[in-house]
Amino acid sequence: MLEKRYLKTLVFTLCALFVLYLTSLYSYLFFHVMVEIFILAILFAIGTLAWITRKTNDSYLMTLGIGFFAIAIIDLLHLITYKGMGILPGIDSNLPTQLWIAQKYLEAFCFIGAFLLIGKKVNDYLIGGLFGLFTVGTFAAIYFGVFPACYVEGTGLTPFKVISEYVIAALMAVAWVLLYQRRKSLDRSTYVALSIALFLSIVAEICFTNYLGVYDIFNLIGHLLTLVAFGMIFIAVVYVSITRPLDSMYRSLSTSEEIYRTLGERGHSFLALLDDDNKVVHVNRKMRELIGGEEKDINGKEISLLFHGEGAERLSANIPRLRSREIDSFRQSVKQKGECISILWKGGEADLEGSVRVILTGLDITELERYQEKTSELNDALDLINRILVHDTVNQLSIISGNLDLYKINGKEENLARMDNAIRNMDSLVQRMKRMMRAINEPLDLKAVDVRAMAERVRNNHQVSGFSINIIGECTAMADESLENVLDNLVGNAIRHSGGNVAEIILKKTDLGCTIEVADNGKGMPPELKGTMFQLGTKSRSSKGMGYGLFLVKRLVERFGGSISVFDNAPSGTRFIIELRPPGSPMVDDSICRQAKRDHTP
């Protein structure tokens, strides 16, 4: 494919040169005008493009561009003063030849300067000033007769003209050496095209040393070679060094745009672009899923109106604070597909498309918050276990130490029995702590459990004289064996602390699952404990424990996906109500929603 394209270019070039040659047979002056017009078009095109793209290029291209502007000015004068043009009467062939030599000197120096500046950056106006000074100096030297004669009518080329052509050819060779030394800094196509241009320019200069008249065949060949040389320069500078990088840049921009669009659409963050009135300009796929709608239905609406309840209020209150940089982020809990998720919103103003927009990005931190809550639970559990172990172990060790001293004094067996009982209590304590850690830390393995059967076992374990336990109803719930510990704790508290003589376990099957009520007819909750009943360390004055029983009960129930609450019983006593999920229902972790209700900070 590449060779075919080059072949087409070569065929077109040869055809164009042949057509130009045919015009020379009709009129050499017409041929010369056509060649010079093409050269001028190339010179001005390269100069203009180099100047327009000066901020994206180094001084190599700027030197060529500005230099070609100066060359074009001199070449234009060379064209209008050429023999036979008749635009400026009374001018012989010497003036256009002088302008041609000056132009070729400038071209050679332009190449040398440009190749020396490859990869470097020089002030553009300094380069322009130097070329301008050379151009003005050339015109002044010719005007005041200082510039040596280059052509004498009837004689031909002067020695200065011939020597200058060889000097220019040598300068072109020097330029090629510089180009070769810096070839690795250029695109290979640029290097090849410039090398061909320099070679053709050198051959053209040699041709210009051999013609006798300005309409000579060597002059014709020299002009054709010069035209092709500038054509190669055009390919090297405009196509390879400017157009191709611009195409590459546009492709890169397009690729970058596609990458960022893909990241936005397929990423795991929520993304919304808002206008000055907080109306949606664009949302990504994740955001559309959160809101629940198509982009056409979302765009143009105020962002907070797309949410409900506290979520809408929080967005409405905090987006202005993000704009003013009063805050850099805020948290919001929303429901998605029936499940509470927690989102950390971040954002700020950005000047896009001439208007200030807010880029709002959100990260789903639900799992992070659950992990943090789990970590907090474990830390609380470890702290509780440490306190219980220290407290109860010290008590039991004190009993053992005291009875050991008494046994040494009186040798009574009852002291040994008390020590043995204390050791058993310590072992029981360790076993309770193990169960607590398993209940809090082990992965859930929920299944359908027969709550009635569990309640029966609890009643059998608490056969206390003067205290009756009644079981009413039956139901099945999603839980594990630790639900029996929950019932055991509540019934045990009723026996030890309520002051009553009856406890009821009422089981009800409901549409939402299973409701368990554990009620007693005792003296009821102490008023000072009503708001803190399930907090760690809460206990009545008569209790000798550490206040972890109801705390553990609540944690276990919540692990099942249920809830527990406490009320006064009528006419007296305390009533605990547990709500559990029915068998087969999915686990819904509402800890994030519970956290949102506890967190009122915007």
Average pLDDT over the chain reads 79
From residue 565, alpha-carbon distances to 94, 171, 500, 580 in Å are 112, 98, 20, 12
Average pLDDT for 414-437: 74
- The DSSP H or E segment spanning 470 is strand 468-472
Question: pLDDT tens across 56-67, in order?
Answer: 666 778 888 888
| SS3 state of residue 401 | helix
pTM of the model: 0.47
Identify the residue with better confidence: 56 or 321.
Answer: 321
268-364 folds as Beta-Lactamase (3.30.450)
Are the C-beta atoms of residues 128 and 66 closer than 8 Å to each other? yes
Which band of pLDDT confidence, cut at 50, 70 and 90, is reported for residue 602? very low
| pLDDT above 60 for 332 | yes
What CA–CA distance (Å, rounded) separates 17 from 11?
10
pLDDT at 451: 92
| pLDDT above 80 for 378 | no
pLDDT at 301: 83
pLDDT at 536: 65
pLDDT at 484: 87
pLDDT at 191: 85
Q: Number of helices (H) and strands (E), helices first, in the chain?
A: 18, 14
Question: pLDDT tens across 114-156, in order?
Answer: 888 887 877 878 888 898 899 999 899 988 889 999 888 777 7
Are the C-beta atoms of residues 277 and 356 closer than 8 Å to each other? no
For 96-128, letters b (16+ CB in 10 Å) and e give: bbbbbbbbbbbbbbbbbbbbbbbeeebebeebb
Q: Do domains 268-364 and 444-602 have the same CATH topology?
A: no
From residue 595, alpha-carbon distances to 330, 340, 370, 601 in Å are 14, 10, 10, 11
| pLDDT above 90 for 420 | no
| pLDDT above 70 for 310 | no
What CA–CA distance (Å, rounded) separates 15 from 109?
32
| pLDDT above 70 for 468 | yes
Question: pLDDT tens across 62-120, in order?
Answer: 888 888 899 999 989 988 888 878 787 778 888 888 998 999 899 899 999 888 888 78
**For the chain, which residues make up each domain, given as ranges?**
38-234, 268-364, 368-442, 444-602
Residue type, 244: R
| pLDDT above 90 for 472 | yes
| pLDDT above 50 for 2 | no
Q: What is the DSSP letter of 185?
A: G
Kindly report which listed range (252-256, 257-261, 587-591) carries the lowest average pLDDT score. Answer: 587-591
| β-sheet bridge partners, residue 574 | 568
| pLDDT above 90 for 517 | yes
Are the C-beta atoms of residues 437 and 385 closer than 8 Å to each other? yes
> In sequence order, what are the residues at sequence separation of 6 or more whose Cβ sits closer than 8 angstroms to the Cβ of residue 36?
75, 78, 79, 82
Class of domain 444-602: alpha beta
What CA–CA distance (Å, rounded) separates 11 from 200?
18
| pLDDT above 80 for 518 | yes
